[in-house]
Amino acid sequence: MSHASDLVAAARREQGVRLPVWFMRQAGRSLPEYRELRKGTSMLQSCMEPGMIHEITLQPVRRHQVDAAIFFSDIVLPLKAMGVDLDIVPGTGPVVANPIRTRADLDQIGSLDPAQVGFVTESITSIVDELGATPLIGFAGAPFTLASYLVEGGPSKDHSRTKSMMAGDPELWDELCRRLVQISSTFLQVQIDAGASAVQLFDSWAGALAERDYRERVLPHSSQVLGSLTGGVPTIHFGVGTAELLPAMAEAGSDVVGVDWRTPLDVASRRIGPDKAVQGNLDPALLLAPWEVLAERVREVIRAGAKAPGHIFNLGHGVPPTTDPGVLTRIVELVHEEAPTIRQEAQA
């Protein structure tokens, strides 16, 4: 089912001078058509309605002509589908009713049966049909980032309960992560089997960890997720604040490593190694800057990315909800028009 698209070629390091572009959180509140469609429907409900998922996934592709769609869902959706009592609170994020702090709390986390996410298969089938040659990216949360929501009970700045469990009760931590490996792997495999052309593993908050803890208690679980997938689609592994962790994250086995805005892509690529493509990494805050300033930064990202063995243009993290969507459309146009020349010059 996977398409010979620019995105897949870049992920496989078979890229020419064309540069694929998409944006993390391209579907969502920056789009008036999204806000309109979501009126009266909660985030979680929207993520379980095939008609809604289809429309929201396609909205940014129709509007911006990006080179990939990302499946409209959330990292906590598989947990919800399995029966974990949680909500996505507007302006806050995922909130878990009974946080996991002891072995007994683990009873909430069984295993994910693909039948519990039948709506995912149904929506992907219709999305892929409409997308034609444009690839669909599936995704899941990595065990650490999912565990952080489950252990903290909601969003956290310092992840202190999560880190305390990891260091203080590594057996409990590893058992929680083993269960989350099954859930992430199954959620990704369902999306691949339904027709996704690539998948991204979001370990958004991994950058909160010291390398030693990441290597000991997180990397083995993320590696298991990435290693379990069948179907041969390329994988992308992303986190924020991971400058120090890039070599370790690369060892988890993805084809592409997503890089935030703090590390120039040529530097990041040297840390990641020659056998992987990179994705990123325009600072999302700059979307508010004057166009000429922003355009110059986009060109800088293209130039630095040209030094990597493959590059997928993206932001360094998600689109902020206040972004003027017209700016995103202009970035896509600029990347499509100017990247071939800039890449040729940078690689000469």
Q: Which residues are catalytic?
A: 25, 29, 38, 74, 149
Any idea of the CA torsion for 181, 183, 186, 188, to the nearest 10 degrees? -80
Distance CA 137, CA 238 (A): 13
Q: How far is it, in rounded angstroms, from Cα 237 to Cα 253? A: 9
Compose the 192-231 pattern: x for residues touching ligand CP3 by CB under 6 A, - for all others. Answer: ----------x-x---------------------------
If the CB atoms of residues 29 and 101 are measured against ligand CP3, the closer one turns out to be 29
How many Cβ atoms sit within 10 Å of the Cβ of residue 264?
18
- Establish if 91 lies at the interface with ligand CP3 (CB under 6 A): yes
For every residue of 100-137, DSSP letters joined together read: --STGGGGG-----GGGGHHHHHHHHHHHHHHTTS-EE
**What is the smallest separation between the CB atom of 204 and ligand CP3, expressed in angstroms?**
3
For ligand CP3, which is the closer residue by CB, 96 or 339?
96
- In angstroms, rounded to a whole number, what is the distance separating the alpha carbons of residues 47 and 28? 12
Q: How far is CA 115 from CA 99, 196, 233, in A?
A: 25, 18, 22
Q: Decide whether 263 or 342 has the Cβ nearer to ligand CP3.
A: 263
Among 20, 94, 138, 325, binds ligand CP3 (CB under 6 A): 94
- Rounded to a whole number of angstroms, the minimum distance from the CB of residue 338 to ligand CP3 is 25
Q: Is 40 in the site for ligand CP3 (CB under 6 A)?
A: no
| Residue 203 Cβ vs ligand CP3, minimum distance, rounded to whole Å | 9
* C-alpha distances in Å from residue 244, one per residue of 29, 213, 332: 31, 12, 30
Q: Which residue is nearest to ligand CP3 (CB)?
A: 204
| Count of beta carbons in the 10 Å neighbourhood of residue 326 | 11
61 touches ligand CP3 (CB under 6 A) = no
Report if residue 90 touches ligand CP3, rule: CB under 6 A. Answer: yes
Instruction: Pick one of 8, 9, 11, 27: the residue that binds ligand CP3 (CB under 6 A).
Output: 27
From the list 5, 15, 26, 222, which residue makes contact with ligand CP3 (rule: CB under 6 A)? 26
Which residue shows structure tokens 């070629």? 9
Q: Which residues of 198-232 are buried (b: 16+ CB within 10 A; e: fewer)?
A: bbbbbbbbbbbbeeeebeebbbebbbbbbeebeee
75 touches ligand CP3 by CB under 6 A: yes
Does residue 139 belong to the site contacting ligand CP3 (CB under 6 A)? yes
User: How many residues of this chain bind ligand CP3 (CB under 6 A)?
Assistant: 21
Answer yes or no whether residue 22 interacts with ligand CP3 by CB under 6 A: no
Which C-beta is closer to ligand CP3: that of 140 or that of 229?
140
How far, in whole angstroms, is CA 250 from its chain's centroid?
A: 15
Chain positions contacting ligand CP3, by CB under 6 A: 24-29, 43, 70, 72, 74-75, 88, 90-94, 139, 202, 204, 318
